[in-house]
Structure 1
């Protein structure tokens, strides 16, 4: 379980194919001594299991994760390569402050950036959601985009908009996002449950 509050921006150091999919080494400022093997870290919003950790130099450490075929098919993990910036969040502990919204780390699909406009105090993004997911994205609702908890500004069909403040741009990988980029989308779990309940007709 996560909150969508990004606590580090990692960098992909190495990507290699394995029989199950791919294995990625990610540079991080997280202390490897505090990361147990088998721990969960959200990488661009995708919950991954840590399979190795280590130290790179005086400033940076690393951890490694593996992505299976389903993850590669449903998320933007298949496009990660050396140099890719990755939003990182460690799993929520009981008693931690819930600053964003509850995020499972189970990405539903991939949205596409269709417009970006930079303003002095914010950056506007318009994204296009897959049709089957758009109905779960309400105006002023919460979404997780590449692991970042964000508030939806407007909705128009499959398109929705967000505004990012300078702090978010500075402390996440969003500053690099451009038109055409694919973004991991996890809809709010409450919206999904409400929609499912509305479909249910007692017999």
Structure 2
């Protein structure tokens, strides 16, 4: 599990045969070992090699299909977060690292020191998103200001712009989206509650 609070900005060092190598500051790798999970732009990936300032992962065709990794190249910047430890607090919200879909930036405007984005969301995911609820965009825990049809209104404050890659998003940029996992579990529970008679009789 993760929290959506980004711990470092990394960079794609190399891409070859489904393996991605990510570079980051040396301090990010404290207590990281081979086999650990790291969220890269919100995608939970398993480390297969670690050095002083980089780590390597394998990315499946399914992950490439469901995320923005197929759109990224060498030197692209990414958001990084190590897994949540049981003795840590949760400053963002519970994030699984399993991307649900891809959003597209359809609006971007400066508001004081902040940036307000409008992001178009896949229709099948909008039911899991609520005004003032939490979502995860490229690994960053964010609050939805408003929803109009399938377009989310999101305000990114200066601190988040400084410590993540979200400020680089422009019109037509795409980003990974994970909806609130609690909403998904509630839907599943309600489904079985509604269909329990047919299932057990």
Tell me what 2:190 maps to. 198
Q: Does 1:104 pair with 2:85? A: no
- Alpha-carbon shift at residue 129 of structure 1 (Å): 0.7
Matches of residues 139-150 of structure 1 in structure 2 within 5 Å? Answer: 139-150=131-142
CA distance in 2, matches of 1:66, 1:79: 16
Name segments (4+ residues, structure 1) moved above 2 Å: 30-34, 195-200
Gaps of 5+ in 1: 56-60
CA distance in 2, matches of 1:139, 1:195: 18
Tell me what 2:58 maps to. 66
**Count, aligned residues:** 194
CA distance in 2, matches of 1:64, 1:148: 21
CA distance in 1, matches of 2:155, 2:135: 13
Deviations 1:67-106 (A, max 9, x none): 1011000000112211101000000000101000000000
Deviations 1:148-189 (A, max 9, x none): 000000011111111010000000001111111111000001
Tell me what 1:40 maps to. 37
- Alpha-carbon shift at residue 33 of structure 1 (Å): 5.5
CA distance in 1, matches of 2:179, 2:188: 13
Of 170, 183, 195, the match for 2:175: 183
Gaps of 5+ in 2: none
Query: Do 1:113 and 1:180's aligned partners in 2 also have CA atoms closer than 8 Å?
Result: yes
- Alpha-carbon shift at residue 141 of structure 1 (Å): 0.4
- Alpha-carbon shift at residue 197 of structure 1 (Å): 2.8
TM-score, L = length of structure 1: 0.92
Tell me what 1:58 maps to. none
CA distance in 2, matches of 1:3, 1:120: 27
Q: Does 1:24 pair with 2:20? A: yes
- Alpha-carbon shift at residue 198 of structure 1 (Å): 3.1
Matches of residues 46-125 of structure 1 in structure 2 within 5 Å? Answer: 46-55=43-52, 61-125=53-117
CA distance in 2, matches of 1:193, 1:78: 29
- 1:199 is paired with a residue whose SS is helix
- 2:63 is paired with a residue whose SS is helix
- Alpha-carbon shift at residue 199 of structure 1 (Å): 3.1
Which structure dedicates a bigger proportion of its chain to helix? 2
